[in-house]
């Protein structure tokens, strides 16, 4: 069963429709990747599912419950976490303070979760008392990722998590994403590094001009000659 789904979504900014009758769904423990050219509407589709954009048509469901009219902060309470591409950390705060901020809605003991995040990202444990503004781009992404996991989400949404990081850091982040998926979290990821993302994906969507162009397993899309030619460099 789909845990999180956007069906027949049309939305945009001003009068312009950026996504048109778009469908995206994620199951528990599944890694789903959305690829496509710049301006295809990938991030817009994600924002529509989060409730940051009003839908003109279609619906969003979580656990088979209609949530299209629900405010974004209430969707977070359901177990949906989002890591935006930029401005995703508090640079004037330490690593640990950033993680604590991620748990602001929780009433239980959060420090066990912090230790789990340090196990996932050992470098953050080393730098727990350091200001995030002093960290490298890859380390900041780990903080952003960790902060989202502090909410103990059922769905984790990542908008270009490897943008601007080195190939080594990208491989490291993708291996961590696989680990998180194995804990039962469904992961929906928009990614420009299409080849590497599809290699770890259970399923993928190709979006072009705001519409679903192709859908399939990560492996099938990787081997699709049209996808290879258009998005994977041949």
Task: Provide DSSP, 96-157.
Answer: HHHHHHHTTT--S--HHHHHHHHHH-HHHHHTTTSBGGGS-HHHHHHHHHHHHHTT--SEEE
User: Over pLDDT 90: what percentage of the chain?
Assistant: 79
Count of CA atoms in the C-beta half-sphere (13 A) of 233? 5
Spatial contact of 231 and 218, defined as CB atoms under 8 Å apart = no
- pLDDT confidence tier of residue 234, bands split at 50, 70 and 90: low
Q: Which domain holds residue 115?
A: 89-150
Q: Is 106 among the domain residues?
A: yes
- For residue 9, the model assigns a pLDDT of 98
Beta strands across the sheet bearing 65-66 = 16-27, 2-13, 57-62, 65-66
Residue 15 pLDDT class (50, 70, 90 cuts): confident
Evaluate whether residue 156 is within a structural domain. Answer: no
Tell whether 117 is covered by a domain.
yes
Residue 61 covered by a domain: no
Q: What's the rounded mean pLDDT across residues 45-62?
A: 95
**Count of the separate structural domains present in the chain:** 1
Asked whether residue 161 is domain-assigned, the answer is no
pLDDT digits (tens, 9 = 90+) for 208-218: 999 999 999 99
Question: 101 in a domain, yes or no?
Answer: yes
Q: What is the mean pLDDT of residues 5-16?
A: 94
Does any domain span residue 137?
yes
Residues 117-140: pLDDT tens digits?
A: 999 999 999 999 999 999 988 899
What is the average per-residue pLDDT within 171-185? Answer: 93
pTM: 0.92
Tell me, yes or no, whether 30 lies in a domain: no
């Amino acid at each position: 069963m789909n845990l999180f789904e956007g069906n027949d979504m049309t939305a945009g900014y001003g009068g312009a429709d950026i996504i048109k009758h778009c469908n995206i769904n994620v199951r528990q423990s599944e890694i789903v990747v959305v690829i496509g050219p710049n301006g295809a509407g990938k991030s817009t589709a994600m924002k529509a599912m989060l409730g940051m954009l009003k839908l003109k048509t279609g619906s969003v469901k979580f656990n088979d419950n209609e949530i299209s009219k629900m405010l974004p902060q209430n969707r977070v309470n359901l177990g949906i976490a989002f890591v935006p591409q930029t401005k995703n950390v508090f640079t004037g705060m330490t690593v640990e303070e950033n993680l604590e901020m991620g748990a602001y809605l929780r009433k239980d003991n959060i420090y066990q979760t912090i230790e789990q995040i340090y196990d996932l990202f050992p470098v953050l444990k080393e730098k727990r008392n350091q200001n995030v503004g002093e960290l490298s781009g890859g380390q900041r992404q780990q903080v952003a990722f960790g902060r989202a996991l502090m909410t103990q989400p059922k769905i984790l949404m990542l908008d270009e998590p490897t943008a601007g990081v080195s190939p080594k850091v990208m491989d490291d982040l993708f291996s961590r994403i696989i680990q998180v998926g194995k804990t039962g979290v469904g992961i929906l990821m928009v990614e420009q590094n299409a080849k590497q993302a599809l290699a770890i994906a259970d399923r993928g969507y190709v979006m072009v001009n705001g519409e679903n162009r192709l859908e399939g397993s990560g492996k099938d899309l990787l081997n699709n000659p049209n996808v290879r030619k258009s998005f994977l460099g041949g």
